[in-house]
Structure 1
Amino acid sequence: MKDTRLQSELESLRTEITALRLANAALEQQMSQDAEQTDSLLRAMESQSNALREANQRQLNQRFFLQRVMDTTGALMILLGPDGRLRQINQRCSEMLDVADRKLDEHVLDEWLHPYERQALADMLGKLPWPVYSPLFEAAHRAGNYTAEHRLLGRDGQYRHYWLEASIQYNRQGKEEGAVVCATDISPLKQQQERLHRSENLLKEAQHIAHLGHWEQDLASGELTWSEEIYRILEIDPLTRPLSFPDLLDLVHPDDRAAVDKAYSVSLTADKPISVDHRLLLADGRVKWLRKCFITHADSEGQPRRLVGTVQDVTAERLIDEQLVLAASVFESSLNGILITDANARIIKVNRAFTEIMGYGSEEVLGQKPNLFKSGYHDKEFYRKLWSTLKLAGKWQGEIWDRRKNGESLPLWQSVSAVHDSDGQIIRYIGVFYDLSEQKRAAEHIHHLAYYDSLTDLPNRQLFVERCEQSLEKVRRSGRTLAVLFLDLDRFKHVNDSLGHPVGDELLRAVAQRLKNTLRHGDMVARLGGDEFIVLLEDTENHDVVEYVACKILAGLAQPFMAQGHKLEIGTSIGISCYPEDGEDATTLIKHADLALYQAKEQGRGIFRYYDVRLTERARERLFLESELRDALAREELIVHYQPQLALADDRLIGAEALLRWRHREHGLIPPDKFISIAEDSGLIVAIGEWVLRSACRQAKQWLDAGHDFQRMAVNLSGVQIERSDILATVTQVLADTGLPPKHLELEITETYIMQQAQLNVRIMGDLRALGVTLAIDDFGTGQSSLGYLKRLPVDKLKIDRSFVMDIPQDSNDMAITRAIIALGHNLHLTVLAEGIETAEQAAFLKELGCDEAQGYYYGRPVDAESYLKLLKESARPRRSPT
């Protein structure tokens, strides 16, 4: 049983081995077949590879052959791809164009074209629907075969001329493969053409310049031939008028025809050329000079056969001869000095003006060099630049200082020109000059007039501003400071008005001299105009230095001056601004010093004040108010209020003082002390004052017509009104227009203004009083009136200034002054009115002294016309007797 199983397993094993052998045999057979196929495939691939390699080699050989063929030509050979980019170039192209380090297929030939030509091609093509890399290739593609002349940029950076021939290339299937471009260098030909063209032009130009034509006559037939230049000389169009010999003779000036006929006849038998100069009379009356030459040619038998002649326009030559004569005359008669030297700068000729200016005779300078006249004013560098400019530019001109024979230096304006021969070599130098001394003096005078005050000879505003800006530049760098002092004279206008302008001018000159003597060395004083002066103090370490100088000026100008026999005391006020705190530039410093001066004058004359930033705000406010005040009348913002005036004896209302008020549309009521001075300074007070006078008179007339017991209307007159208008005519006209009787009008003039021009004001006040109006001196006691003038003044009333009343009864001095004024007024038979009464004690004191009239808040504030009318009505009611 066991053997049977073993036998069975052995049999099974044999079967598997047999199967494996059969499988292995099949596998070996399959592998043998695959190996044969693979070997066949490899042999096919190797065959294809060899064929491809042979094809590539043939293509490479063709490319190398093509390259060798392209390299053998002297032209530029360029192969373009189907998009116009470079594909292949020859050696000549590499040598001529800068393409050595470039990838050809990234570039187009257009990159070497001249920009104008590249743009012209692009403009010719217009806008195309496909991208254009090369306008040149597109032009060739459009034309099929393209030929044109172009400039290409060479390796040396220069453009050369080429004749380009481009043809589009196609493959066997007709597909476009690119283009072949052949560029032949025609630059030498172009240059030769240009030289030939220039030569032809030069020849024609030479013939034209020489104005030379020729003609020939066949003596046997009489036939004439003419050159074109003869037609130009005779100014005849050969197409419209053929020229004949009689025509030529007809154009000869009548006075010269005999000479021309004689020369013609002589030439027929003479064996040498015959020439004659004559005039040509043109149709428009112009005259030309011609030179004609005749010569006869004989035949072999000695018989004259041909007459040959030339015609030359010598008008210019004649003119040159005349000009040479004229030039010689000009040379000698010229007012400018002229000297001529040879190429070595040795003098060979001078004219008469040279001798007159320099003092040397011609025999003294011939053969000398111009350095004989050196003054020592210029250094070597000056002369080096002169000669350098002369050699480079051929001329030089400028100012030069030379020395006369007597040793005197003088400024000359000289022009030196080099004269060249036909080879460009310098053969002469011509110097022309004139004396600048008088012009220098005139320029200095003009400069002085432009920068200095003609009256005082001090610097003017322009020079001061320039000097101030220069000083500011220096102190900015050094870190130091400077100050500007602005001053004007006190009471100078009074001097001019009372003693006349000649005295005022002499006073200004004396002030200028005293200021110069007062200031430190290096300080500058200038006159701005009128009586305004300005001082520049440099290197001011602190305010002590500035104040020291300001005090010296105040003290110096406080001393009396003598002017045309008059002893004058004026004094001054000073405004000060300092850099850098008050301004960074000259204009700002001057403006701020002026504002400080204004403050000094307001706070009392004879003092100095520093600029305060608040002054600028005041100035802005002042400008604003002046601007608004100009339209205030038109906008009806000005109104008149009336302050009651009473008789002190019985407290009876007797009149009113008209007081101006301004109710601004935005800022409300503006106090009079803010705008009255502005109105006076700007001149607006003339129109405003007349309006106040007219309004007050009209209102007074209404109250009188209504039956009220109204005695007078007091109206203030500004000094500016009197000075800038015909006040007498104004008052007369207002009274006539309003119908107010003159006795009801009282005009008030301040004591200060009256005393400024006392004599003139006495006459004006006399004329006003003659109208029948009452005159009052306002603010009496503040103007330092002369009693001698006071008794002569045609006034009716004194108004005691409020400054003497306000401290009664506390101030005994004011009480004494008031008592004296009342007594003085009564002794001069004048009515006395006290202003500014605000308490019962003041009223009682004035009643006790016998003061006639009163005005003040104690009796009533200024009110409008309607409110004052109520006061009039109340004063008219009967008073009850005390019980």
Structure 2
Amino acid sequence: MNMVLILVISALCILLFTTILVYMSGESGIKSFGLYGWAGFIIAAVYFAKIGNIQYIQASFFSFIEEIALSMAALMALYSLYKFNNGIKEEETQSTDLAIIVVFVIIGFIGLFLAFNYDIFDLESAAVSVISAGVIYYSLSKSIIGKNVAGFISILMGIIYILFWLIQDFDQYSSLKYLMNSISFILIGLGMIIAYFEKSNKEFKEMENNYRVAMESSSDGIWEYNVLNQIVKLPKLALEIMGLNEERLYYKLKKIETYIHKDDIQKFKTSFEKNSLDKTKYYKEQFRIKIKDNEYKYFSLNGKIITNDSDKAMKIIGFVSDITEEKAKEEIIYNAAYIDKTTLLPNSNYIEQEILSENKENTDFSILYIKLLKFENKIQMNGSGSGEDLLNKVIENIKRYLSNKDILARVHEDSFICVLYTSEVSEVKNTADKISRSINNSKIISNYQCDLESVIGIDIFHNDGAEYMDVVKNANLAMEKSLEEKRDYTFYDNSIIEDMEKKNEMINLIQKGIDKQEFKVFYQLQKAGDGSRFIGGEALVRWNSPEKGMISPGQFIPIAEETGQIIDIGEIVLKEACYTGKSLSQSGYKKFYVSVNISAAQLRDENFYKTVKKILSKSDFQPEHLILEMSENIFNGSMKKEMKTLEVLRNMGVKIAVDDFGKGAVSFDYLLNSPIDILKIDKSFVFGMMGSPKKISMIESMISIGKKLGFTVVVQGIETEEQFAIIEKLNCDWMQGFLFSKPEQKIDGKLV
């Protein structure tokens, strides 16, 4: 093959491979990969041209092998560049790369072994070329550093070929080969280094531009603080928000301090004190900073503290972020968890988490547990819109006697907790007394009738090893004690626990008594106003406990009302009374009335009227002969739901009686608008009437007015003949008392 054909083939190869190279180079084109590509493909074209020369193959078979190896090295370098430029991950071709390098190294070392053993110089050169090609390709398949190493290895190979060309006496073909090899390897190496440098530099600029765009579009920016001269460098975004000169990036710390919210200033100053900075490696704080329109935004400052050789703080470098939106979201979540939405006061979670569990570990304090009595009833009486007004007035009254550091929290609909940061008993007592009087003396609030009452429980924490939440529990127990004993406030002591244990024992005994039917019904008979005959009987519950013996109703009924067990007990009494009434009716006492006491808890039970209806139906007792008695305070105007239940019962034919009338503050005017049939005058009037004409006149007036208003009037508590003689003349409808009948379980014989 003549030289003209070789040159034509070489030119065609150069044109073809250069076109492929430009396509693979992407945006970089010939600028990035041209030097490497031109050099690599020139040598590849020349090699392929030489490979096609049969004479050249015959002249030196081992040189032919060497040319193939070098051609493969050029092509593999191109393939590695193609992967790099097109973002093909190295791990995706890892097995292929490994196989290629293994094959190259094995072939190369076999060639070296044969060359050294048979002293064949061309074979030695070919083997070195094969190994070098493999190393270059393996380096190219690794990181940017590896790719640069491959470039330097290629340059080194070129230098080695130059040395061979200079010191050896070669024939024409070998001389041309070594010269071309040396030039090509050097150009290939330089091309690789330049190409990868430009590629890396381009990627770095793209990353830098992306970072700049991201910083400009985000709420973050870089800030610096020089500890020695107290100079702050702020990003343009922060300067723009604060309304400062954006061209001036550096400001004195004192200047920035003027933009800090007054509640954050002390924290701001402390955080930048040199002593504080010397003790930590990182800076992290949040502040409210004034913006242009005199409002405030939350900013977070995070940074790394740079120190000198003595570990003294010299500079802070970090990010400043606008976290106003995040803070707003946090506030919503915080308020939901720790703030009462009606009053905006802290709630029980706040007391537990923020005050007791975390912040006051070394501080003595006192807890006042305040409960408003019948608060829900007052709202019913005044309308649903009155609740917020009543609460706000109560809160205003309480806060009047608290210091700035004391805390008021709403823990239930009708309950508050005051945290007083004092353990002086006299101070606590004085505050509790003032709060109690301010609530109890509030008769009219925002045009609403509001004769509110309150009870307060108090416990004092002395940092003596007790648990914080135990203080709250103890104050709650003391409040319950105040409620039981009708006291304004009670200090917690160990006797309350003893009383609580007794109360729990009683609750368990009551439940046992209900389950084992230990409650029995006794009857106190009632006579006509002229004393001529018995016309009814009041059903009274009695309890003879196997464990405790006879237990007074005054002991177990208040507890049963509190726990709701009174509903079960009341049903037992009602059922027994109706069956007794039916039995007496069948015995000939057709107009015998049976009275049964019911409590507010029973009236609040949604199923109460259904229970009454069911018992009347099963016992076949006439509703007109059943009287349901309840205390006077139920008719104070605040229990509207209970009144509706009474109306339903009255429409069924059941008669409704007010027990102990005159003891409370219910007026005749209100009773006229209530579903009431019978007034039972409290026995206290009868007990005190002997020798008191005024008391007698009062009883006479109540009887007279009651009858004129259409009520049946009953006088209770008649125990002596003298009392009977006076009451008989006052013309009441019915009379009741020990003089006529003590409570007995069997009354058949008495009626004869």
TM-score (norm: length of structure 1): 0.55
2:540 maps to 659
Alignment counterpart, residue 390 of structure 2, candidates 500, 504, 507: 507
Q: Which runs of 5+ in 2 are unaligned?
A: 1-39, 52-63, 81-89, 105-140, 142-146, 162-171, 259-264, 307-314
1:760 CA drift (Å)? 5.7
1:827–1:338 distance in 2 versus 1, CA, 3 Å: same
What SS does the corresponding residue of 2:609 show, helix, strand or coil?
helix
1:669-688 C-alpha deviation (Å, 9 max, x unpaired): 32221222222222333343
Compared CA separation, residues 358 and 372, structure 1 to 2 (3 A) = farther
In the TM superposition, residue 499 of structure 1 has moved relative to its aligned partner by 0.9
The CA deviation string for residues 77-109 of structure 1, in whole angstroms up to 9 with x for no partner, is xxxxxxxxxxxxxxxxxxxxxxxxxxxxxxxxx
- Is the Cα contact below 8 Å between 1:653 and 1:872 reproduced in 2? no
What's the CA shift for 1:610?
5.1
Please state which structure has a larger fraction of its residues in strand. Answer: 1
Name the CA distance, whole Å, in 2 between partners of 1:768 and 1:717: 13
Mapped to 1, the partners of 2:270 and 2:454 lie a distance apart of: 55
Distance 2:432 2:303 in 1: 57
**Matching of residues 156-555 of structure 1 within 5 Å:** 219-220=50-51, 221=64, 223-224=68-69, 234-237=93-96, 299-300=173-174, 302=176, 317=200, 322-338=206-222, 353-357=237-241, 359=243, 363-365=247-249, 375=257, 382=272, 384=274, 396-399=282-285, 412-416=299-303, 431-436=318-323, 453-456=340-343, 460-461=347-348, 473=362, 485-489=368-372, 491-518=374-401, 525-535=408-418, 543=426, 548-555=430-437
Q: 1:674: which partner in 2?
A: 555
Q: 1:834–1:690: structure 2 CA closer, same or farther, 3 Å change rule?
A: same
Pair 1:795 & 2:676 matched: yes
Question: Does the 8 A contact of 1:654 with 1:709 survive in 2?
Answer: no
**SS, match of residue 857 in structure 1:** coil
> What per-residue deviation string (whole Å, max 9, x for no partner) do you get for residues 16-72 of structure 1?
xxxxxxxxxxxxxxxxxxxxxxxxxxxxxxxxxxxxxxxxxxxxxxxxxxxxxxxxx
Between the two proteins, the alignment pairs up a number of residues equal to: 596
1:773 aligns with 2:632: no
State whether residues 338 and 353 of structure 1, in contact with CA within 8 Å, keep that contact through their aligned partners in structure 2.
no
State the distance in 2 between where 1:348 and 1:572 align: 57
Match of 1:635 in 2: 516
Question: Using a 3 Å threshold, how does the CA distance of structure 1 residues 536 and 350 change in structure 2: closer, same or farther?
Answer: closer
Contact 2:716–2:735 at 8 Å: present in 1 too?
yes
**Aligned to 1:752, which of 612, 633, 636?**
633
Tell me whether 779-788 or 523-532 shows the greater mean CA deviation. Answer: 523-532
Contact 1:341–1:430 (CA under 8 A) maintained in structure 2: yes
Aligned to 2:24: none
Cα shift at 1:462: 5.7
Cα distance in 1 between the residues matched to 2:468 and 2:91: 72
Shift of 1:739: 2.6
Conserved in 2, the CA contact under 8 Å of 1:412 and 1:433? Answer: yes
SS at match of 1:633: helix
Q: Which residue of 1 aligns with 2:751?
A: 875
Q: Which amino acid aligns with 1:768?
A: L
Q: Secondary structure at the match of 2:737?
A: coil
1:831 matched residue in structure 2: 712
Query: Aligned partners of 1:541, 1:240: CA distance in 2, in Å?
Result: 86
* Closer/same/farther in 2, CA of residues 746 and 488 from structure 1, 3 Å limit: same
The corresponding residue for 2:595 is 714
SS at match of 1:235: helix
Name the structure 2 match of 1:730.
611
Give the C-alpha shift of residue 351 in structure 1.
6.4
663-672 or 377-386, larger mean C-alpha shift: 377-386
Report if aligned partners of 2:382, 2:449 keep a CA contact under 8 Å in 1.
Answer: no
Q: Kindly provide the CA deviation profile for residues 380-436 of structure 1, in whole angstroms up to 9, marking residues without a partner as x.
A: 98464687689xx6xx341266988989997642344699xxxxxxxx996321134
SS of alignment partner, residue 364 of structure 1: coil
* Cα pair 1:375 1:402 within 8 Å, conserved: no
Give the percent of matched residue pairs that are identical in Structure 1 and Structure 2. 27
Deviations 1:707-741 (A, max 9, x none): 55562221122112222324333322332333322
3-state SS in 2 of match to 1:656? strand
How far the C-alpha of 1:788 sits from its partner, in A, is 1.6
When the two structures are superposed, what TM-score results if normalisation uses the length of structure 2? Answer: 0.64
How far the C-alpha of 1:786 sits from its partner, in A, is 1.6
In structure 1, how many angstroms separate the alpha carbons of the residues matched to 2:461 and 2:579? 56
Q: Note if contact 1:769-1:775 (Cα within 8 Å) is conserved in structure 2.
A: yes
Cα distance in 1 for partners of 2:176, 2:627 equals: 133
How far off is 1:753 after superposition? 0.5
| Aligned-partner Cα distance in 2 for 1:303–1:458 | 93
Residues 849, 565 of structure 1: alpha-carbon distance in 2 compared, 3 angstrom cutoff: closer
- The SS at the match of 1:619 is helix
Per mean C-alpha deviation after superposition, the further-off stretch among 215-224 and 744-753 is 215-224
Letter in 1 for 2:447: G
**Quick check: 1:562–1:568 contact (8 Å CA) kept in 2?**
yes
Code of the residue aligned with 1:660 in structure 2: it is V
Residue pair 2:377, 2:639 contacting (<8 A) in 1 also: no
Residue 595 of structure 2 contacts residue 629 of structure 2 at CA under 8 Å; is this kept in 1? Answer: yes
Q: Distance in 1 between matches of 2:671 and 2:291?
A: 76
CA-atom RMSD in angstroms: 5.3
Deviations 1:197-249 (A, max 9, x none): xxxxxxxxxxxxxxxx999978524744768997988434479899999xxxx
Cα 1:364–1:816, aligned 2, differ >3 Å: closer, same or farther?
Answer: same
1:319–1:695 Cα change, 3 Å: farther
The residue matched to 2:719 in structure 1 has which SS? coil
Deviation at 1:336, TM superposition (A): 0.9
Q: Which moved more, 1:833-842 or 1:229-238?
A: 229-238
Q: Distance in 2 between matches of 1:565 and 1:851?
A: 40
Deviation at 1:598, TM superposition (A): 4.5
Counterparts of 1:406 and 1:353, CA distance in 2:
13
Gaps of 5+ in 1: 1-212, 246-281, 283-289, 420-427, 476-481, 877-883
Which residue does 1:269 correspond to in 2? none
Higher helix content, 1 or 2 = 2
Change (3 A) 1:400 1:608: closer
Considering only CA atoms, is the larger Rg found in Structure 1 or Structure 2? Answer: 1
The alpha-carbon distance between structure 1 residues 751 and 452, as it changes in their structure 2 partners (threshold 3 A), is same
Which residue does 2:117 correspond to in 1?
A: none
- The aligned counterpart of 2:452 is 570
C-alpha contact 2:380 2:639 (8 A) present in aligned 1:
no
Residue 707 and residue 588 in structure 1: after superposition, are their counterparts in 2 closer, same or farther (change >3 A)? same
Letter in 1 for 2:285: E
SS at match of 1:655: strand
Q: Which has the higher contact order (CA 8 A, sep 6+)?
A: 2
Please give the alpha-carbon distance, in whole angstroms, between the structure 2 residues aligned to 1:609 and 1:744: 46
- Give secondary structure in 2 for the equivalent of 1:783: coil
Q: Is the 8 A contact 1:333 1:352 kept in 2?
A: no
Q: Distance in 1 between matches of 2:510 and 2:670?
A: 37
What is the CA distance between 1:634 and its match in structure 2?
Answer: 2.7
The residue type paired with residue 739 of structure 1 is D
Contact 2:444 2:450 in 1 (8 A): yes
One-letter amino acid matched to 1:331? M
In the TM superposition, residue 498 of structure 1 has moved relative to its aligned partner by: 0.7
Q: Distance in 1 between matches of 2:588 and 2:303?
A: 99
8 Å contact from structure 1 (residues 799, 834) kept in 2: yes
Displacement of 1:572 in angstroms is 4.1
SS in 2 for 1:644: strand
Change (3 A) 1:345 1:323: farther
Mapping of residues 617-636 of structure 1, within 5 Å: 617-636=498-517
Would the alpha carbon gap of residues 845 and 383 (structure 1) be closer, same or farther in structure 2, given more than 3 Å must change? closer
Q: Secondary structure at the match of 1:757?
A: coil
**Which residue is equivalent to 2:729?**
848
Structure 1 residues 181-204: Cα deviation after superposition (integer angstroms, max 9, x where no partner) = xxxxxxxxxxxxxxxxxxxxxxxx
Give the residue type in structure 2 aligned to 1:512.
I
Q: 1:399 to 1:856 in 2, by over 3 A?
A: same
- Measured in 2, the distance between the counterparts of 1:472 and 1:242 equals 69
